């Protein structure tokens, strides 16, 4: 079983810059109908699938958090926390 978070439009570029290893992310504005799918599995492993444009199912990418395609939830959480902003109420 996996759980998916899918992002599109203006959220893809910044999210990809944070999550995807630079060798697999060209930067800039992703093409129309691009997506990022963050797949969390029952063993708390995480895989990220990215598609630039509208063709195909996307490819699994190397993650910045651990330098591999499959990372732990703790590794990706650590990567995301670098960009966490606490806004006072």
What local confidence, expressed as pLDDT, does residue 77 receive? 93
pLDDT reading at 31 higher than 80:
yes
State pTM to two decimals: 0.85
pLDDT reading at 4 higher than 70:
no
Domain ranges of the chain: 2-81
Q: For the chain, how big is the Rg over CA atoms in Å?
A: 13
43-to-23, 38, 49, 56, 67 alpha-carbon distances in Å: 27, 14, 18, 27, 19
What local confidence, expressed as pLDDT, does residue 32 receive? 87
Task: Assess contact for 57 and 49: CB atoms under 8 A.
Answer: yes
């Amino acid at each position: 079983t996996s759980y998916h978070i899918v992002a599109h439009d203006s959220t893809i570029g910044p999210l990809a810059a944070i999550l995807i290893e630079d060798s697999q992310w060209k930067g800039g504005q992703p093409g129309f109908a691009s997506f990022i799918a963050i797949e969390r599995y029952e063993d708390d492993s995480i895989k990220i699938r990215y598609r630039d444009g509208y063709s195909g199912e996307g490819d699994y990418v190397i993650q910045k958090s651990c330098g591999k395609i499959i990372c732990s939830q703790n590794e990706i959480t650590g990567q995301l926390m670098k960009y966490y902003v606490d806004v006072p109420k």
